[in-house]
Homo-oligomer: A and B are copies of this chain.
Amino acid sequence: MGEFDLIEHYFKRPERHAARVALGMGDDCALLQPAPGTQLAISCDMLVEGRHFVSTLDPFKLGHKALAVNLSDLAAVGAQPLAFTLALALPRADDAWLAPFSQGLLALADAHGCELIGGDTTQGPLNICITVFGEVPMLNGRSQALLRSGAQAGDDLYVSGNLGDARLALEVFRGSVSVPEAVWVAARARLETPTPRVALGLALRGIASAAIDVSDGLLGDLGHILRQSGVGATVEADLATTLVAANEYYTEATGQFNVNIVPEQWRRWALSGGDDYELLFTAPVARRAAVAAAAQSSQTAVSRIGQMDAERGLRLVNAQGQLLPNRYASFDHFA
């Protein structure tokens, strides 16, 4: 199967462009028309050098995750997903891989009304590069985007969903811990098919003062908000630690199954595990009811885990407010 057949076969959708997509796949550029009077032309290419590689991850899940991590970025600015481009390097055009990959990818895309509008395919070590586009409205000339730079001293600090499960699954894959089947299944789903918090991001427009998605670990990503907002934060470590969803299984099953996981490990995974794709955000204390309403309307759990301080720096405390040492580095690809 050739390059163009490959695109036609796996990635071409029926013509059903949204009003803002003036031109989709099949030309040198895609054209978006976010507003009358102009268009945005979009293109994506890939250059690859490398050698053969075969993925061990279920291609359906890989397709889901590749788009999910991008949608998570849209969620973090409160953008409505609109379209995306896909650049794909593959060792060979293999139906047994491409069919489930494209199905996983497009199922999530359809669920968010996010249209594939172009891209590139080439031969090379497996590599997936997606660029996604979303819309953010203006209100009275001001963007409604949730930025990292808007946090104020005194704001509450929140995180959505659960933390640390993806890291737990990774450690099981690595063989460093073993857990009961139910914990493994739950944690693995969080690692392989994360849920982008798009609905929550949209619901938080006009409420949250700052937001980021947690991809490199809670504390590391919080650091970006602190730097860009020029504030500090106090995080109640135990509150975050209880957000490891697998914790529920641990405490509710028998209370005593012999897993080789100490509380410090739970805490480490929650605070710096990475691959969580939850929203970490701040909001004024006066907006607590609005945050609760946003969580409810988006059907997304939200937990308050700390507060922003005028004093710079990041402080970890226990339930009694006592300072804890911070030994939790975030993930860095080149560290």
Contacts and interface: CB of A to CB of B under 8 A. Distances in A.
Given A4-B332, A79-B29, A127 B41 contact: no
A231 B103 CA distance: 34
Interface in A1-38: 1-4, 6, 22-23, 26-29, 31-38
Contact of A39 (B4, B34, B92, B121): B34
A328 interface: no
Given A23-B145, A41-B134, A332-B2, A129 B34 contact: no
B124 A77 contact: no
A314 B51 CA distance: 37
A149 to B, nearest CB: 8
A239 interface: no
Given A39-B138, A40-B134, A127-B89, A47 B62 contact: yes
Given A27-B147, A29-B134, A147-B27, A73 B43 contact: yes
A40 to B, nearest CB: 5
A249 interface: no
Contacts of A92: 334
Contacts of A42: 131-134
A55 interface: yes
Given A2-B334, A41-B74, A138-B37, A128 B47 contact: yes
A53 interface: yes
Contacts of A333: 3, 121-123
Given A36-B138, A44-B129, A50-B50, 18 more contacts: A2-B332, A2-B335, A3-B332, A3-B335, A22-B143, A28-B76, A31-B136, A38-B135, A39-B137, A40-B82, A42-B132, A42-B134, A43-B132, A46-B127, A50-B125, A51-B51, A87-B129, A123-B334
23 contacts: A2-B335, A3-B334, A6-B334, A22-B143, A26-B228, A28-B213, A29-B73, A29-B77, A31-B77, A34-B40, A35-B36, A37-B137, A40-B133, A43-B132, A47-B62, A50-B51, A50-B125, A50-B126, A89-B127, A90-B334, A92-B334, A125-B127, A129-B129
